[in-house]
Structure 1
Amino acid sequence: MCWLALPAIADTYRIATYAAPLSRDGPGLLLRDITKGEDPQIAAIIAVIAQNAPDILVLTDFDYDYGGVALTAFAQALGDAGHPMPHTFARQPNTGFATGLDHDGDGRLGDARDNQGYGRFAGDGGMAVLSRFAIDGDGVRDFSDLLWRDIPGATLPPMTDDLRAVQRLSETAHWVLPIRPDGAPPITLLAYSATAPVFDGPEDRNGLRNRDESRFWQLFLDGIWGPPPQGRFAIIGNANLDPVDGEGLRETMSDLLTDPRIQDAKPTSAGGVADADPNHSGDPALDTVDWRSDGPGNLRVSYVIPSADWQIVGAGVYWPAPEDEMLLGSDGMAAGAHRLVWVDVGG
Structure 2
Amino acid sequence: MLTAPLHAETIRVATWSPELTRKGPGLLLRDIVEGEAQVEAVVAVIRAAEADVLLLTGIDMDLRGATLAELANRLEAAGAPYPHLFTAAGNTGLRSGLDLDGDERLDEPEDAQGFGRFPGEGGMALLSRLPLGEVVELTGTLWRDLPGGDPWFASAAAAEAQRLSSVAHWDVPVLTTAGPLHLLTLAAGPPVFDGEEDRNGRRAEDELRLWQVYLDGALGGPPQGPAVVIGKLNVDPVDGEGRRAVFAALTGGPLQDPAPEGPGGAAEADATHEGPPAQDTVDWDGPGNLRVDYILPQSGLTVAASGVLWPEEAAPLGGLSLATVRAASRHRLVWVDLVLDGE
Structures share fold, TM-score greater than 0.5: yes
Matched, 1:266 2:264: no
Deviation at 1:87, TM superposition (A): 0.6
- Alignment RMSD: 1.7
Q: Residue type of the partner of 1:290? A: D
Pick the aligned partner of 1:143 from 138, 142, 145. Answer: 138
- Match in the other structure for 2:185: 191
- Match in the other structure for 1:153: 148
CA separation of 1:331 and 1:135: change in aligned 2, threshold 3 A? closer
- Contact 1:145 1:170 (C-alpha < 8 Å) held by counterparts: yes
Residues of 2 paired with 1:172 and 1:158: CA distance? 18
Q: Percent identity at matched positions? A: 48
Q: TM-score if structure 2 supplies the norm length?
A: 0.93
Residues of 2 paired with 1:190 and 1:93: CA distance? 15
- Match in the other structure for 1:4: none
- Contact 2:18 2:58 (C-alpha < 8 Å) held by counterparts: yes
Residues of 2 paired with 1:9 and 1:345: CA distance? 14
- Contact 1:243 1:252 (C-alpha < 8 Å) held by counterparts: no
- Match in the other structure for 1:242: 236
Structure 1 runs not aligned, ≥5 long:
1-7
Deviation at 1:331, TM superposition (A): 8.8
Any idea what SS the aligned residue of 2:58 has?
A: strand
User: Which stretch shifts more, 77-86 or 325-334?
Assistant: 325-334
Q: Residue type of the partner of 1:342? A: W
Deviation at 1:321, TM superposition (A): 1.6
Pick the aligned partner of 1:111 from 108, 113, 124. Answer: 108
- Contact 1:158 1:203 (C-alpha < 8 Å) held by counterparts: no
Pick the aligned partner of 1:77 from 74, 77, 102. Answer: 74
Structure 2 runs not aligned, ≥5 long:
1-5
Q: Residue type of the partner of 1:243? A: P
What does residue range 7-26 of structure 1 map to in structure 2 within 5 Å?
Answer: 10-26=8-24
Pick the aligned partner of 1:55 from 45, 52, 57. Answer: 52
What does residue range 195-210 of structure 1 map to in structure 2 within 5 Å?
Answer: 195-210=189-204
Residues of 2 paired with 1:174 and 1:34: CA distance? 26
- Contact 2:143 2:164 (C-alpha < 8 Å) held by counterparts: yes
Query: What CA deviation, in whole Å up to 9, does each residue of 1:207-266 have, x standing for no partner?
Result: 01011011111111110123411222111000011111100112332222222x221111
Residues of 2 paired with 1:10 and 1:258: CA distance? 26
Q: TM-score if structure 1 supplies the norm length?
A: 0.92
Deviation at 1:94, TM superposition (A): 0.3
Q: Residue type of the partner of 2:30? A: R
Residues of 1 paired with 2:154 and 2:107: CA distance? 18
Q: Residue type of the partner of 1:313? A: A
Q: Residue type of the partner of 1:134? A: P
Deviation at 1:319, TM superposition (A): 0.3
User: Which stretch shifts more, 100-109 or 322-331?
Assistant: 322-331
Deviation at 1:10, TM superposition (A): 4.3
Matched, 1:277 2:306: no
- Contact 2:313 2:322 (C-alpha < 8 Å) held by counterparts: no
- Alignment length (residue pairs): 334
Matched, 1:176 2:167: no
Any idea what SS the aligned residue of 2:248 has?
A: helix
